[in-house]
Amino acid sequence: MSLLSIENIHTYYGNIHALKGISLHIEKGEIVTLIGGNGAGKTTTLRTISGLLTPREGTIRLNGEDLSKYKAHEVVYKGISMVPEGRGVFARLTVTENLEMGAYSRKDTAEINRNMERVFSLFPRLKERRTQVSGTLSGGEQQMLATGRALMANPSVLLMDEPSMGLAPVLVELIFDIIQQINKEGTTILLVEQNALMALGIASRGYVMQTGQIVLSDTAEKLKADPTVQKAYLGME
Amino acid sequence: MSSIQQQNTFDWKKTLQIGLIGGAVGVLIAMVGMVEEFNKRDIIAGTLTMGWTILSLTMLVTGLFAARAAASNASSVVGSIVAGTIFGAVMSILVWIVDKYNIRDILVNASPTLVKHLTFEKGIPNGLFMLIGLGAAVGGLGGVIQILPENIRRAISLGLGIAALLGLLQEIIQVSLANFEGASKAVEWMFGKGTEKGLSLAGAILVFVVVAAGNYLWTGNASKISAGFEKLPQSSRKSFRWLGYGLLFLALIYLPVVLGLYLTEVVNVTGLFILMGLGLNIVVGFAGLLDLGYVAFYAVGAYTVGVLTNLSGELTLNLGWNFWLALPIGVALAVLAGVALGVPVLNMRGDYLAIVTLGFGEIIRILALSDFLKPHIGGSQGIVNIPPPGFLDVIIKTPQTLYYLIVAGCLLALFISSRLRDSRLGRSWKALREDEDVAQAMGINLVATKLLAFATGAAFSGLSGSILAIKLGTIYPHSFALLISINVLALIIVGGMGSIPGVFVGALLLAGMPELLREFAEYRLLIYGALLVVMMQVRPEGFWPEATHKRELHAENAEPQAEGGAA
């Protein structure tokens, strides 16, 4: 049984049919990436999984349990945590306060403190700046903070929405290294990316989305070699 | 090329601009009649009138701004003198025009009296030169203040401010101190004798020196004092703190005796606004939900108590309940109204939310005014004959007895909101204020959290309204106009969004002061607006800001080491 499996979900924004029957599954310990152009529905898929949007049809199962009966704030208790697009740090709160908000769903103080240490060891920069207001962090640091905050919930599945957005190439590499490290430490990751080459570089499998549908799915290696993917998303001729 | 030069030399354009803007403000102050009206009152007897105080303050601020725009210290002072001179020149042109042509048909306040005031009764042109000279001098003073070190600058402005305040409130202070034997000699010396108004010159200087020196010494040694306090053992620190609370408590109990009838009434009005402010501070300051219909809950509280306790015999219900029974119901109904407002606006943010809540406030007021509900709540005639409640053997009717009820309410609200601020719920509100979606993804229940904010805010307002009902003994729909909501919002902004002490500061400034200065009620809204504009420019975080908000607006000061203690 897959850790997370999504079957045939249809999501609407009012009358706009944004997701037209998406199905995907993620096994425990994997990094799976969802690539595609602007408006393909990648973010909508993540928001549907995390409960911020409700699908009209289809099921989302985590460890076999149907998530559709849970509201957005309950999903995190089930073990799904999200790094939102554009990072969404609480700009007026300090780094530490942001991380504490990430652990809002948990009560065990000792566990939370241990988790915070883990985040600080993954991102030493955050430790240096832990009393700083997060709105004054650089883009890369904010991405680290958003990732660290999501890890504070101790999720079994981490949803990441465009972690490379607006970052300098060297920072993108750093973030992707850390994503791999988080994965090695046991967190399953669903990674939404426009930077398809980088994403396919660290993922084991990938799905290609186009106008609300999944048009291709395969191992990362094969997708990288696929001529249509190369042409459309990797910028190769 | 020019931009490089401007860095080293003097920025004429900017200085001219600031001088002209300052002058325009001065002209406005004169033309709305503030100079003439306020000159009836002295701040320092025989030396400085209130009208001149306001004009000089404008000159001073003009000088401050001009100095701030300049690059070096020397050019700061020159710039402020130039800006002050321009200020004086603009005013002089005004005076000259008013003197030469009769423009009273258009501008009622452009009177010969104004000319007399503004020329120091020395006539034209001598008076005009004096006016320009004064502009240069006061503007230059502003420039000098601007380049002084921060702690001296703060001491000077505080000293000037307190001296002006004491002069302004002279009558009230004198009356309330008259109760005390022995104080009269000192009062006479400070404030002058008999019919003179305002501080005596010696008294003003004394106040300025004492306050400025005190503030300077305090800021110089505050860290040492607090460090010394930190060094004390836990137990004695605790007892010091309790001693402080005890003294404060005694002062609160003793206050109405000192203040007398009129001032206690002012405190009561302020207290009702503090209660509302603390409630709206939860909604707007903590949770970031801009509620413009906050007066609705005030009305619900007041009307509930009115309907349940009144004995007028004109309404369908003539229950004549005890106030203490009606009070919790008033608060409960306000909470219900809060939830009722909260549910439909759950998915709204920002300006949409503001408009809907604005409408909600108006709906409640219009319902109260309507013929439809007239048999039950009295329509435009309101509810009369709300009996004063008793507590033990005391009938709560005079300002002094009401004072204790209001203080008790404020203390309760203060306790609840400071506990909530640091609670899990308080943190959820903060997160919600920053980003709703992310807050949800962290596990925060959006619906419950928002509704709790509306409900708690409404409860405080309902409490305030319930007390208002017995304070006035009668309630009318027009007591619940939109302006109350705006007032409460403004006091939160002036005090500092999300800051609990800020509510107290804001209420004193925007509810207490206008009550004290009733004779200038005409200019209330003008001063209000000016204060808000200046606030937003100079101190957008409010007079007593919450820590996080201060960090946001002064990010460059919020370096890690500044808050290292928190780590």
Residue A235: strand, helix, or coil: coil
* pLDDT reported for residue A123: 94
Interchain proximity B430–A90, CB inside 8 Å:
yes
**ipTM of predicted complex:** 0.90
Structure confidence by residue, pLDDT tens digits, A149-186: 999 999 999 999 999 988 999 999 999 999 999 999 99
* pLDDT reported for residue A228: 87
Structure confidence by residue, pLDDT tens digits, B30-89: 888 888 888 888 888 878 888 888 899 899 989 988 888 877 778 888 889 999 999 999
Contacts of A3 (CB under 8 A, 6+ apart): A26, A27, A28, A62, A63, A156, A157, A188
B227 within a domain of the structure (yes/no): no
Residue B326 in tokens: 């009606």
B236 within a domain of the structure (yes/no): no
Do B215 and B279 fall within a single domain? no
SS3 content of chain B, % helix, strand, coil (to 5): 75, 0, 20
A-B C-beta contacts closer than 8 Å: 91
Can you tell me the distance from the alpha carbon of B390 to that of B470, in angstroms, rounded to the nearest whole number? 11
Q: How many structural domains comprise chain B?
A: 2
Interchain proximity B438–A73, CB inside 8 Å:
no
Contacts of B229 (CB under 8 A, 6+ apart): B237, B240
pLDDT at residue B560 is higher than 50:
no
Of A88, A100, A130, nearest to B567 by CB-CB distance is A130
Do B198 and B253 fall within a single domain? no
Do B312 and B218 fall within a single domain? no
Phi, psi of B222 (to 5 degrees): -55, -45
Phi, psi of A214 (to 5 degrees): -90, 120
B231 within a domain of the structure (yes/no): no
Interchain proximity A52–B441, CB inside 8 Å:
yes
Residue B550 in tokens: 């201060």
Phi, psi of A90 (to 5 degrees): -80, 95
Chain B residue with CA closest to A130: the answer is B567
Interchain proximity B438–A105, CB inside 8 Å:
no
Structure confidence by residue, pLDDT tens digits, B206-248: 888 999 898 888 887 777 777 777 777 778 888 888 898 899 9
The CA-based angle B417-B419-B423, given to 5 degrees, is 110
Do B395 and B435 fall within a single domain? yes
State mean pLDDT over B301-315. Answer: 88
B160 within a domain of the structure (yes/no): yes
Of B189, B219, B182, nearest in space to B204 by CA: B189
Interchain proximity A73–B430, CB inside 8 Å:
no
Can you tell me the distance from the alpha carbon of B291 to that of B484, in angstroms, rounded to the nearest whole number? 12
B237 within a domain of the structure (yes/no): no
Can you tell me the distance from the alpha carbon of A84 to that of A86, in angstroms, rounded to the nearest whole number? 6
Chain B hits for A44, CB-CB cut-off 8 Å, are none
Residue B343 in tokens: 């549910």
State which of A141-145, B8-12, B493-497 shows the largest mean pLDDT.
Answer: A141-145
Residue pair B289/B353 in contact (Cβ under 8 Å)? The answer is yes
Of A105, A130, A135, nearest to B442 by CB-CB distance is A105
* pLDDT reported for residue B3: 45
Could you list the residue range(s) of the whole structural domain that residue B153 is in? Answer: 9-222
Q: Which of B442, B451, B499 to mutate to test the interface with A (most CBs of A within 10 A)?
A: B442
Q: Work out the pLDDT band at B182, boundaries 50, 70, 90.
A: low
State mean pLDDT over B305-329. Answer: 86
B446 and A CB contact within 8 Å: yes
Residue pair A195/A172 in contact (Cβ under 8 Å)? The answer is yes
How far B433 CA lies from chain A's nearest CA (Å)? 9
Chain A hits for B557, CB-CB cut-off 8 Å, are none
* pLDDT reported for residue B452: 96
Do B215 and B318 fall within a single domain? no
Do B124 and B252 fall within a single domain? no
Distances (CA, A) of B113 to B41, B99, B313: 15, 10, 55
To the nearest whole number, what is the mean pLDDT of chain B?
Answer: 86
How far A87 CA lies from chain B's nearest CA (Å)? 9
Chain A hits for B438, CB-CB cut-off 8 Å, are 84, 88, 90
Q: Work out the pLDDT band at B380, boundaries 50, 70, 90.
A: confident
Residue pair B131/B118 in contact (Cβ under 8 Å)? The answer is yes
Alpha-carbon dihedral B377, B383, B387, B388, rounded to 10 degrees: 110
B255 within a domain of the structure (yes/no): yes
Chain A residue with CA closest to B441: the answer is A73
B507 or B74: whose pLDDT is higher? Answer: B507
Q: Work out the pLDDT band at B5, boundaries 50, 70, 90.
A: very low
pLDDT at residue B109 is higher than 90:
no
Buried (b) or exposed (e) across A126-158, using 16+ Cβ within 10 A? bbebbbbbbbbbeebbbbbbbbbbbbbbbbbbb
Residue with tokens 């309760």: B412
Can you tell me the distance from the alpha carbon of B150 to that of B422, in angstroms, rounded to the nearest whole number? 32
Q: Work out the pLDDT band at B186, boundaries 50, 70, 90.
A: confident
Q: Work out the pLDDT band at B562, boundaries 50, 70, 90.
A: very low
* pLDDT reported for residue B46: 77
Residue B49: strand, helix, or coil: strand
Do B185 and B254 fall within a single domain? no
Residue A80: strand, helix, or coil: strand
* pLDDT reported for residue B407: 95
User: H helices within B232-294, ranges in order?
Assistant: 234-280
Residue pair B59/B22 in contact (Cβ under 8 Å)? The answer is yes
B151 or A158: whose pLDDT is higher? Answer: A158
State mean pLDDT over B395-407. Answer: 90
Chain A hits for B552, CB-CB cut-off 8 Å, are 91-92, 133, 135
Can you tell me the distance from the alpha carbon of B467 to that of B473, in angstroms, rounded to the nearest whole number? 10
Residue pair A202/A165 in contact (Cβ under 8 Å)? The answer is no
B504 within a domain of the structure (yes/no): yes
B375 within a domain of the structure (yes/no): yes
Can you tell me the distance from the alpha carbon of B33 to that of B14, in angstroms, rounded to the nearest whole number? 29
Do B374 and B329 fall within a single domain? yes
Of A203, A194, A197, nearest in space to A236 by CA: A197
Interchain proximity A92–B551, CB inside 8 Å:
yes
Residue A194 in tokens: 């426009």
Can you tell me the distance from the alpha carbon of B375 to that of B315, in angstroms, rounded to the nearest whole number? 5
Distances (CA, A) of B173 to A114, B183, B258: 59, 11, 10
Amino acid at B427: R
Phi, psi of A55 (to 5 degrees): -75, 145
CATH of the domain at B248: 1.10.3470
* pLDDT reported for residue B273: 96
Of B99, B102, B95, B166, nearest in space to B134 by CA: B95
Which residues lie across from A214 on neighbouring strands?
A209
pLDDT > 90: what percent of chain B?
42
Do B518 and B474 fall within a single domain? yes
How far A33 CA lies from chain B's nearest CA (Å)? 20
State mean pLDDT over B439-447. Answer: 93
Q: In chain A, which stretches have pLDDT less than 50?
A: none
How far A85 CA lies from chain B's nearest CA (Å)? 10
Residue B445 in tokens: 């229940």
Is residue B371 packed enough to be buried (19+ CB in 10 Å), middle (13-18) or exposed (0-12)? exposed
What residue spans define the domains of chain A? Answer: 1-79+157-164+188-237
Do B259 and B213 fall within a single domain? no
Do B550 and B417 fall within a single domain? yes
Interchain proximity B549–A92, CB inside 8 Å:
yes
Can you tell me the distance from the alpha carbon of A229 to that of B566, in angstroms, rounded to the nearest whole number? 50
Q: Work out the pLDDT band at B557, boundaries 50, 70, 90.
A: very low
Chain B hits for A72, CB-CB cut-off 8 Å, are 440-441, 446
Interchain proximity B441–A82, CB inside 8 Å:
yes
Of A101, A87, A97, nearest in space to A146 by CA: A87
Contacts of B250 (CB under 8 A, 6+ apart): none
How far A94 CA lies from chain B's nearest CA (Å)? 8
Can you tell me the distance from the alpha carbon of B216 to that of B220, in angstroms, rounded to the nearest whole number? 6
Structure confidence by residue, pLDDT tens digits, B163-179: 888 888 877 777 777 66
Which CATH number is associated with domain A1-79+157-164+188-237? Answer: 3.40.50.300
Residue A90: strand, helix, or coil: coil
Can you tell me the distance from the alpha carbon of A160 to that of A174, in angstroms, rounded to the nearest whole number? 15
* pLDDT reported for residue B313: 74
Amino acid at B273: F
Interchain proximity A153–B548, CB inside 8 Å:
no
Chain A hits for B443, CB-CB cut-off 8 Å, are 73-74, 76-77, 104-105, 153
DSSP for B407-440, written as a single string: HHHHHHHHHHHHHHHTSHHHHHHHHHHH-HHHHH
Do B397 and B446 fall within a single domain? yes
Residue A185 in tokens: 């430490």
